[in-house]
A and B are shown apart, each in its own frame.
With several copies, the nearest count.
Chain A
Amino acid sequence: MTDVQQTATGAGARPVDPIAQAVQPRRRRRPRTRNLWANVVPSVVILAIVIAVWEVLVRSLEVRPQVLPPPSRVLEQGWAQRSTILEHAGATLQVTITGFAVSLVVAWIIAVSIDFSPVLRRGVMPLLVASQTIPIIAIAPLMIIWFGFGLLPKMLVVALVTFFPIVVGLVEGFNKTDREVTNLLRSMGGGRVKEFLFVRLPSALPTFFTALRIAITYAVTGAIFAEYVGAQQGLGIYMSVQKNAFRTDLVLAAVLVTAVLSICLYLLTFAIERLVIPWSFKERKARSAK
């Protein structure tokens, strides 16, 4: 029954968010707070154990901090250098955000064009897939040769790393609309453009946000990557320099900051989603409460 009900509105089928889905047990019946609690506690416990074991092992085996510093030292030294690290993090964030903005614009343009032209779709999609097999690490240095070491090549690297999942998400989202909905709209007198605006676009939004979520975690890493290859500032450069200065502790501190940054951006997408497509949230909530 439920299945029938759910798939009945073809256009509204919920996309699968691999991450969000994997994180949360599928059928939750418990209220939010308790759920959060149950979700957070085990990870924190495991994390604490890992960190404790690391600390103890490193200290007892007297591993040199250049090779592997204890977590306490990472935090301590990272804290001592917090202003420098934050400054670099700011630069990275700028690259991430501008690059991601470019990525979004490009992805939307490609996805919408593809949606309107089946020939383009068949022509472009395989190329986009193939483009993902190109090792960015090899292209990034060339980018610097081509575009200098300003913001541009870094933005391009971020865009290159992130646009693909967004395009796929959008194209897939647009295609959620099944034949029957198209027929319905056409029977009402709507053409391809109206079909797009009234159906394909709104029904693609949940999938779009799922893709956005996946893409944004790549974005920060992509930015750091681009910086590693050549930059004035940024966490990538910072890590590279600190590594050559034998400061593994500071490298790890910067890694931590990167992870925190990514996770924040990841969580931010939920807030934006809630703002843009509140109906999707309401629906999901109602369904899980059943």
Chain B
Amino acid sequence: ACSSDSGSESSAGTTGGSSGSSQPESPTTVRFALDWTPNTNHTGLYVAINKGYFADAGIDVEILPYNNSSPEVLIDAGQAEFGIGFQNQSAVPMAAGADLQSVLAVEQTWTTAISVLASRDDIQSPADLDGLVYGGFGTPAEETTMKAVIQDAGGTGEFESVILGTTAYEALYSGDVDFTVPFIAWEGIEAEHRGVELKNFNYVDYGFPDNYAVIVVGNTTWMQDNPEVAKGFVQAMARGYEDAIADPAGAAAILQEENADVLTDLDFLVESQTMLSEQFMLDDQGQFGRQTQEQWDALGAFLFDSGLLVDADGDPLTEAPDWSQYFTNDYLEG
């Protein structure tokens, strides 16, 4: 079995022992920054690792676990090549001139919502969130996003916010905060499993355009300098996700296997992965990973209009950025 330089053409059936003479001796190391502890948003990554897709492409992936620095910061600083992002979040540093580009849409639509405990009868609409406490993550866009939703529902958009990071959900369940933003397929199911009922408000119901809830972001300069490696990486990752769409249970098992010390509840993983695979990961054409100019423009315009976008000095942008610069399907397709 021989494969070409980047390994991008090797078939799914490769048995692993693919060390063609043309292949570089030592695989290129690519660092990938995570946004959170390993979860089903990351399945494709672990499947691709597990099945050797990266190795086939001559890539050695180094995973940078979640810490208090967002992946965007690390990628921009050149400390990671790729990482997980969110369209609505990553757009902000991109507009401020960060060296970032979105290369893959993992989830085609919103997979988060604003959640409150179902038992909270006093909260019937986002407008009721005025004056309450939000458990946040310290990301730049979140407060403005909450505000926009509340205002759209008729509230003033004045609320308190506590930055809790990974503790936010515990705080929601225990009543320490009133609302936060779970991933439906992750914290949503987890809450259900532990017997907590949540009530969700969906963004699109409150004037928001659609959003690629999870994307893969890369360092623009690095990708331009290493187009082959970038392609190999993105495509291997895409294959991982595609496998997960095809076989959610199998992918969930791999995810667990790769993260044995943190992920223990396979049923939960399967349920989560099944939900993602079936509802969120494919676009209208039934394809995975592709991003469109329309969706970037629509969300971008919303962000620009809401005054969220600022330049590197913190001054609001005066004209809308050219969103086509901020994403590309080239590495996925080329």
Q: Which of A67, A149, A242, A247 contacts B64 (CB 8 A)?
A: A149
Within 8 A of A (CB), among B249-301: 261-263
B70 within 8 A of A: yes
Is A230 a contact partner of B163 (Cβ separation < 8 A)? Answer: yes
- What is the bound-complex CA distance between A245 and B171, given in angstroms? 15
Contacts of B62 in A (CB 8 A): 232
If A230-B165, A241-B163, A246-B96 touch, whether A149 touches B76 (CB-CB below 8 Å) is no
B19 within 8 A of A: no
Nearest-CB residue, chain B, relative to A246: B93
Is A244 a contact partner of B139 (Cβ separation < 8 A)? Answer: yes
Is A243 a contact partner of B69 (Cβ separation < 8 A)? Answer: yes
- What is the bound-complex CA distance between A145 and B263, given in angstroms? 20
A228 within 8 A of B: yes
B302 within 8 A of A: no
Q: Which of A65, A141, A242 contacts B167 (CB 8 A)?
A: A141
If A145-B167, A149-B164, A228-B67 touch, whether A244 touches B73 (CB-CB below 8 Å) is yes
* Count of A-B contacts judged by CB separation below 8 Å: 129
Is B73 a contact partner of A247 (Cβ separation < 8 A)? Answer: no
B interface majority secondary structure = loop
Nearest-CB residue, chain B, relative to A84: B261
B13 within 8 A of A: no
- What is the bound-complex CA distance between A238 and B93, given in angstroms? 17
Nearest-CB residue, chain B, relative to A88: B261
Interface string of B235-256 (1 = CB under 8 A from A): 0000000000000000000000
Is A65 a contact partner of B69 (Cβ separation < 8 A)? Answer: no
- What is the bound-complex CA distance between A237 and B65, given in angstroms? 8
Is A145 a contact partner of B73 (Cβ separation < 8 A)? Answer: yes
Is B96 a contact partner of A81 (Cβ separation < 8 A)? Answer: no
B330 within 8 A of A: no
B210 within 8 A of A: no
If A66-B98, A148-B79 touch, whether A229 touches B69 (CB-CB below 8 Å) is yes
A144 within 8 A of B: yes
Is B70 a contact partner of A244 (Cβ separation < 8 A)? Answer: yes
Count of interface residues, chain B, beta-carbon cutoff 8 Å: 45
Contacts of B204 in A (CB 8 A): none
Is A145 a contact partner of B79 (Cβ separation < 8 A)? Answer: yes
A interface majority secondary structure = helix
Contacts of A131 in B (CB 8 A): none
Is A230 a contact partner of B139 (Cβ separation < 8 A)? Answer: no
Is A231 a contact partner of B262 (Cβ separation < 8 A)? Answer: no
Contacts of A232 in B (CB 8 A): 62-65, 160-163
- What is the bound-complex CA distance between A243 and B138, given in angstroms? 9
Interface string of A61-81 (1 = CB under 8 A from B): 000011100000000010011
Within 8 A of B (CB), among A197-247: 228-232, 237-238, 240-247
Q: A144-B67, A237-B138 are known contacts; what are 19 more A-B pairs with Cβ within 8 Å?
A: A66-B312, A84-B261, A144-B79, A144-B164, A149-B176, A229-B67, A229-B167, A230-B162, A230-B163, A231-B65, A232-B63, A241-B138, A242-B261, A243-B69, A243-B73, A243-B166, A244-B66, A245-B37, A246-B93
- 9 A-B pairs with the lowest CB-CB distances in the bound complex, closest first: A244-B37, A145-B77, A245-B262, A230-B67, A245-B140, A230-B164, A244-B166, A148-B79, A244-B70
10 contacts between A and B (CB under 8 A): A141-B69, A145-B77, A146-B77, A149-B79, A149-B80, A229-B167, A240-B163, A241-B66, A244-B36, A245-B140
